[in-house]
Structure 1
């Protein structure tokens, strides 16, 4: 058995290599209330002197003449939520709950209007969702729907309570109860390998053993709960079952009885040792308490799990050496040692062949002649002025790289070799694997993408307006069938964010930033250029900035940007390759000329009027809550 000092050194080495993903794993566990929940104390810390200004209570009045229930929401010590609405419905009726939820909604909207305008709650899909959840109206709607079927409001409330309890149990059983196994798998792979990707969080899904892991942890929980009714059971059995999450992370195909029994046998003679080992982290825990859990999140939690992962590895090694019954089920050898070259060669022959055939960066540039300013544009912005035969060959190579990119780290020995796991994983499926999103786009492809998405944007907004208001309006400042902000955003995402394509999460974040800046500045410049005319206004939308951009729109941009980068743009480029290149150029030139002419004329005489710069004229009632998605 390695000494505690040695295990801590090894744990720190693992944490140093995988700091970001280890911290993220523990932070997710804390948010899910699976583990480390106390580390989020800082997020719920309140200023006691400010309670009277933050919390509210319900005051209910009943008119004796007609029995009508009215509610007044006053400042107090009770936080109103959907549970209050459900309680009122159980005590009175559905109408009383509806009136209360409406009072809560109106009160929240009033406070948002009196406070920061960026927290508008009157318009937009996101505002509606926030209002529905926070006011409890979604509960009222659900009870009313059930009551309309069963004919009884009481049955509807009872059914909703049962449904809520079932959902909470399922969330606990499949998520909170199982997530300790998930993060142990991440930490186990981090011991011996330089790379652990976010895909490893779905390891149990890939081998279709999530249910079995959930059952193992559930049985362990029930057994421990029963032992807690004894005098010493809570303390002793805590350490007897200490290794169950690690065992399930290595082999989730075991039965619950096998996993629990093996943990007991492996911990025999080590319970006190484990207790003392935990006490050795007391200083770190105190430091975490002094920082309201912040230090625990950033260091102590992942450090402790990394160390005890090493502790499990040492106990596993000891169990195998002593041939403890059940230890033969711990057969994931490559978690603890690198696979030999001939083993990798046998399982990853296709990947290794591809890696050998791929030229290095210098050879790529020579082969495709991407030097000088052409190389600068291609490498940094993904732009090719003209696509030649050499470029097409390079694109084919890149497509194959994308298809097997996830397996290359395994073949190099940098990541856990999933093909060597005793339980077969499903083949890794990249997002739209048949499409090469790392391609270079020619100028003509970018022009076609710009025009296509500009026209799509016009069709989309004209169609939405037609459905919502029942009349046709030529949307945008231009007269032709295009909204250039869509096409411009697409081209900017494909070019400015070219280097982020291999990292979808970062691509999403940068897309939100770029498109948010584009929309804000476009609104500002057009307003200044047209004497203060507003072309769109998000005032009243939840989390808006000066009415020019809002959270709802930015989220849409982020999701739409991912669709463009990984699906739509490659599809459009593939379609263009099937046509004669000269004909494609001719069509692009004609359409671009028409667009530029329209833009020049519209700069002097912009398209304005009902439904374009005066959206309220389309509304049957200006006070109605309608979503406005105006674009130029």
Structure 2
């Protein structure tokens, strides 16, 4: 048996030991998935007056509550529907909807497409929104659900390995083991959705399925049938206690709502998920000790027992005989899980030399990366605009496919952050500040110098004069970290594979195209 107080006490101890790592992981999961929408509310929540503002410049997409209200109006024949939606009670409901739903949710993507289909079924906007629905479901299938498994893996490891890396949430991609856990998680979401229509059955199944991400994180090779069976067995006769465990966090959730989700990121999410990881390990330990059916599927004893140095050396010597991909590169990182002992190993082509994050980029490399990140930023923003809003929107004054603001920020990141790579949280905060200053300056210059407002964030909370807002700076900071730690080293590696002559001609070509675009934009302004 287990006690809530014991689990929560142990979880608080682990949160204290790995505080910044846990915060970073929970923040990434909240940002990259639709699982914890409350945690990002404080920097992305629409104001209640957003729908009445004049859209003289591009404004962010409608909030989820506005999308739902539009759907109700379109399918309702009652003349009083619009007045009812403007009532105080519906305003409160709008706030709750925006607090507990995510704009990237596949459900709300489908509602946006449905609304557009009713208004203008033959438009390109509707077509792009329909495509966006399929991409949203694909994102949930191949990314969101797998990241939840990665999050579970991180919290299981950090209990005994305090130096567990943040990138552990991407471990299934590194293993190139994607489809089986993605299918199991999809079935979990689908079955849960169907059971939710029965209300009581949905609550029961929520707790019955709650251990599936942890089971997959321990052994991704578990099939759908065994994953559901093990989760059912682990939670058997514990569902009421699981409900009471969730209820015990109600006070923290109320405080989190008062801070618009800020407290969720700083403490509540790591605390809750850490407690559930402790619960899984407790239930798992009892299940394995009893040799219950299918217990052999829970096959990662290193989560429970930390091997000594001698045990690691013996295991390494035995592993060398297997000629696996980690044979030559396995090492014993202090306070980190011995990955070469994991039950699933990546294919040899996936095991590559680590990226050189602290490398010093040459002038030609920086020049190339300026254009590469500018084009990448344009493609990203235009793609999101097309698929989410069904509109082709670019905040670049240039005609060509680049946003120089991205390139400028990228170069500043590579120059300033080179010696700070060991402090990712500090790098993230610095990128937020750097991007905020540059974006505010660019918007101010274009607004007062050229009388053009490129971007209007006035419909969001935590914005400054509509020129910058917290959500945008946080999103770019995440993208900037990805550029600094992953994209730039990889792009530079590919760039350096070219001969010096080809690199020079490539830079010349990019310069000519960029200069021509500037001249064309000036004459057509």
Question: Is TM > 0.5 for Structure 1 vs Structure 2?
Answer: yes
Q: Look up the match of 2:3.
A: 3
> Unaligned stretches of 5+ in structure 2?
55-62, 75-111, 318-325, 373-397, 401-407, 442-448, 458-463, 501-515
Q: Look up the match of 1:215.
A: 183
- Kindly indicate whether the alpha-carbon contact (under 8 Å) linking 1:181 and 1:245 is maintained by their aligned counterparts in 2: yes
Distance of aligned partners of 1:268 and 1:516 in 2 relative to their CA distance in 1, 3 Å threshold: closer
Q: Deviations over 1:569-618 (max 9, x none)?
A: 89999999x9xxxxxxxxxxxxxxxxxxxxxxxxxxxxxxx999x98874
Does residue 310 of the first structure (1) align with residue 278 of the second (2)? yes
Distance of aligned partners of 1:169 and 1:9 in 2 relative to their CA distance in 1, 3 Å threshold: same
Picking from 400, 412, 419, the partner of 1:499 is 419
Distance of aligned partners of 1:208 and 1:283 in 2 relative to their CA distance in 1, 3 Å threshold: same
> Unaligned stretches of 5+ in structure 1?
59-76, 89-132, 147-156, 350-403, 457-466, 470-487, 522-535, 579-609, 623-632
Q: Determine the C-alpha separation between the residues in 1 that align with 2:146 and 2:66.
A: 32
SS at match of 1:55: helix
Q: Determine the C-alpha separation between the residues in 1 that align with 2:252 and 2:130.
A: 42
Q: Look up the match of 1:12.
A: 12
SS at match of 1:414: coil
User: TM-score w.r.t. structure 2 length?
Assistant: 0.58
Q: Determine the C-alpha separation between the residues in 2 that align with 1:222 and 1:82.
A: 21
Q: Deviations over 1:542-573 (max 9, x none)?
A: 48999xx9x99xx8996988899747889999
Q: Look up the match of 1:55.
A: 51
Does residue 280 of the first structure (1) align with residue 245 of the second (2)? no
- Kindly indicate whether the alpha-carbon contact (under 8 Å) linking 2:212 and 2:227 is maintained by their aligned counterparts in 1: yes
Q: Look up the match of 2:332.
A: 411
Picking from 342, 345, 348, the partner of 1:421 is 342
SS at match of 1:412: coil
Shift of 1:197: 1.9
Residues 168-247 of structure 1 mapped to structure 2, 5 A cutoff: 168-228=136-196, 233-247=201-215
SS at match of 1:209: coil
RMSD of the TM alignment (CA)? 6.0
Distance of aligned partners of 1:329 and 1:615 in 2 relative to their CA distance in 1, 3 Å threshold: closer
Shift of 1:515: 9.8
Q: Which has the larger radius of gyration?
A: 1
Q: Deviations over 1:505-545 (max 9, x none)?
A: 86687578779989999xxxxxxxxxxxxxx9796544899
Q: Deviations over 1:215-270 (max 9, x none)?
A: 21232344445555668533433333231221112112111111111122222232
Picking from 287, 290, 296, the partner of 1:322 is 290
Residues 73-92 of structure 1 mapped to structure 2, 5 A cutoff: none
Q: Determine the C-alpha separation between the residues in 1 that align with 2:223 and 2:39.
A: 32
Residues 439-588 of structure 1 mapped to structure 2, 5 A cutoff: 497-502=417-422, 540-542=453-455, 566=489
Does residue 24 of the first structure (1) align with residue 24 of the second (2)? yes
Distance of aligned partners of 1:141 and 1:568 in 2 relative to their CA distance in 1, 3 Å threshold: farther
- Kindly indicate whether the alpha-carbon contact (under 8 Å) linking 2:184 and 2:224 is maintained by their aligned counterparts in 1: yes
Q: Look up the match of 1:36.
A: 36
SS at match of 2:332: helix
- Kindly indicate whether the alpha-carbon contact (under 8 Å) linking 1:182 and 1:203 is maintained by their aligned counterparts in 2: yes
Q: Determine the C-alpha separation between the residues in 1 that align with 2:135 and 2:487.
A: 35
Q: Look up the match of 1:103.
A: none
Q: Look up the match of 1:69.
A: none
- Kindly indicate whether the alpha-carbon contact (under 8 Å) linking 2:369 and 2:488 is maintained by their aligned counterparts in 1: no
Q: Determine the C-alpha separation between the residues in 2 that align with 1:571 and 1:342.
A: 41
Q: Determine the C-alpha separation between the residues in 2 that align with 1:507 and 1:331.
A: 37
- Kindly indicate whether the alpha-carbon contact (under 8 Å) linking 1:55 and 1:78 is maintained by their aligned counterparts in 2: no
Larger RCO of the pair (alpha carbons < 8 Å, separation 6+): 2
Q: Determine the C-alpha separation between the residues in 2 that align with 1:227 and 1:489.
A: 47
Please, which moves more after superposition, 223-232 or 267-276?
223-232
Q: Determine the C-alpha separation between the residues in 2 that align with 1:249 and 1:205.
A: 12
Please, which moves more after superposition, 269-278 or 245-254?
269-278
- Kindly indicate whether the alpha-carbon contact (under 8 Å) linking 1:500 and 1:507 is maintained by their aligned counterparts in 2: yes
- Kindly indicate whether the alpha-carbon contact (under 8 Å) linking 1:493 and 1:565 is maintained by their aligned counterparts in 2: no
Shift of 1:292: 3.9
Q: Determine the C-alpha separation between the residues in 2 that align with 1:164 and 1:491.
A: 32
Shift of 1:336: 2.0
Count of matched residue pairs: 416
- Kindly indicate whether the alpha-carbon contact (under 8 Å) linking 1:57 and 1:80 is maintained by their aligned counterparts in 2: no
Q: Look up the match of 2:89.
A: none
- Kindly indicate whether the alpha-carbon contact (under 8 Å) linking 1:332 and 1:421 is maintained by their aligned counterparts in 2: yes
Shift of 1:452: 10
User: TM-score w.r.t. structure 1 length?
Assistant: 0.50
Q: Look up the match of 2:511.
A: none
Q: Determine the C-alpha separation between the residues in 2 that align with 1:491 and 1:435.
A: 18
Q: Determine the C-alpha separation between the residues in 2 that align with 1:173 and 1:258.
A: 20
Q: Determine the C-alpha separation between the residues in 2 that align with 1:163 and 1:518.
A: 33
Distance of aligned partners of 1:572 and 1:519 in 2 relative to their CA distance in 1, 3 Å threshold: farther
Distance of aligned partners of 1:517 and 1:196 in 2 relative to their CA distance in 1, 3 Å threshold: same
Distance of aligned partners of 1:287 and 1:328 in 2 relative to their CA distance in 1, 3 Å threshold: same
